[in-house]
Amino acid sequence: MNKSQVDRVNEELNEFARGGVGSGVPQTTRNISERVCRCVIAGHRKKIDWILRIPQWEKVYGRGLTELGLPQPRRGINLRAVLDSLLIEHKYQLIIWCIEQHTERFPSSIAHKMSELYGLDLFKFKDLDAFLTEKEWLKFQAYVHSALTVEHVRYKRAQTVMFRRYQSFLHKLNNRLVFNVAKRQDGFQEASLGLLHAIDKVDDSSTAFSAYAKTWVTRYIRNFLMEEHFPVHVPVNLASKLLTSVGAKEMETHSAALRKQTKTAEGEAPYHELLKPRVSIEEMAENDQGGQELPDKEMCNPRERMATEDFFAEMRNLMNELTDKQREVISMRYGLNANSESHTLSGIASRVGISHQQVSMREKRALQKLENLLKPLYQEAFE
């Protein structure tokens, strides 16, 4: 984007942040284009990242992370990696903390570059000494603090616009990946964090954002589901290895090797228990005799049963809306036939006697029709 476009972007976002002109009615987020938001977010991130590499503050970043309650360096992840992985909100908090806590002399060259970065005309570089005087530092501190705050307010506005536009996308992806209804609220929270990370990493190019956001959101939801699978918190990479092991024999071999490698002084294998089935404490209740009662696994929650029956009844009605050819392809593709066996597109083509491309087109049209039919139900449930 050229300078005139950037100026127009800044004017548009500043006007939106003030809540409109004349009528006193706030403008809607529809008046702000996604390209405008991406430009503001990318520009703010670049400035923040540049400031985080100031050598004079490198030695205090660790203390700042501790005092602000932000992630700390740990084994395999150094301080620079932690700083790069922070959300823009946390980077901003850390920089403000460094500006307020700085007590040593500050180099004039860096102060001059920061002033140029935020368009501040504070000093004439040729009139400065190697380090700022106390009076110059106080002036610089106040102006840079104010400029950072203004930039951050504009960033938050742009972030809000982006988040609201992709909020329905979060619900759709969360419902597709989280089958347990009881976990969907937590899954949505994780999906929101993934979307915020994607927004913070966005650039001001014309590339599509939805695919990039889907990668981040899917990663956060799957990590959440993987951690929920285990009775104790374990690193996600270890959980992934245990979950992706195939076959009981291979799992037992992996378990034996893990026990041998991680045996403690008492002879126990700390991770071996993770391979056992999970039992929830909430499923156990003490009776009057002080014993414990285990729930009857054959019993079914009436609400869940009614919801399941309603769901299948609704799906049957929706399937009746498809043509016979579309219904045949969908049933074979997703195992909705009598033997519950799913087939590949090539397998369906050979069975039905049509081309692979025709099968793909029938599936695409059927899914599009089902999506259109389900949209009113989805809007009724989540709006």
Per DSSP, the three-state class of 271 is: coil
- Cα 202 to Cα 155: distance, rounded to the nearest angstrom: 12
Residue type, position 135, single letter: K
Q: How confident is the model at residue 91 (pLDDT cuts 50, 70, 90)?
A: very high
Per DSSP, the three-state class of 287 is: coil
Residue 262, pLDDT above cutoff 70 = no
- Over residues 229-238, the pLDDT tens digits come to 555 555 555 5
- Residue 319 is predicted with a pLDDT of 77
The residue that leads in pLDDT, 246 or 99, is: 99
- Cα 206 to Cα 117: distance, rounded to the nearest angstrom: 24
| DSSP codes, 186-214 | HHHHHHHHHHHHHHHT--SSSS-SHHHHH
Stretch 30-41: mean pLDDT: 79
Q: What percent of the chain has pLDDT over 90?
A: 13
- Residue 6 is predicted with a pLDDT of 56
Give the list of residues 6+ apart from residue 169 with CB closer than 8 angstroms, or none: 195, 210, 213, 214, 217
Stretch 151-159: mean pLDDT: 91
Long-range contacts of 118-122 (CB under 8 A, 24+ apart): 118/47, 118/144, 118/147, 118/148, 118/151, 119/147, 120/144, 120/147
- Domains in the chain (CATH in brackets) are 3-20+28-164 (no CATH), 167-228 (no CATH), 307-382 (1.10.10.10)
- Residue 357 is predicted with a pLDDT of 85
- Cα 292 to Cα 184: distance, rounded to the nearest angstrom: 30
Residue 293 β-bridge partners: 285
Task: Give the range with max mean pLDDT: 6-10, 20-24, 49-53, 341-345.
Answer: 49-53
Task: Give the range with max mean pLDDT: 23-32, 288-297, 314-323.
Answer: 314-323
Q: How confident is the model at residue 333 (pLDDT cuts 50, 70, 90)?
A: confident
Q: How far is CA 373 from the centre of its chain?
A: 29
The pTM is what?
0.55
Q: How confident is the model at residue 208 (pLDDT cuts 50, 70, 90)?
A: confident
Yes or no: say if 330 and 371 are a contact pair by the CB < 8 Å rule. no
Residue 258, pLDDT above cutoff 70 = no
State the DSSP code for 231: S
- Residue 152 is predicted with a pLDDT of 92
- Residue 372 is predicted with a pLDDT of 82
Least confident of 94-103, 239-248, 301-310, 371-380: 239-248
Stretch 129-143: mean pLDDT: 88
Give the list of residues 6+ apart from residue 187 with CB closer than 8 angstroms, or none: 174, 177, 178, 221, 224, 225
Hey, what are 41's tokens?
């977010």
Hey, what are 83's tokens?
């700083």
The residue that leads in pLDDT, 343 or 377, is: 343
> Diameter of the chain by CA atoms?
87
> What number of other Cβ atoms are within 10 A of residue 118's Cβ?
16
- Over residues 65-79, the pLDDT tens digits come to 999 999 888 877 888
Hey, what are 75's tokens?
């084994």
- Relative orientation angle of helices 236-243 and 248-261, to the nearest 10 degrees: 140
- Cα 283 to Cα 268: distance, rounded to the nearest angstrom: 27
- Residue 241 is predicted with a pLDDT of 57
Q: Phi and psi for 74 in degrees, rounded to 5?
A: -145, -175
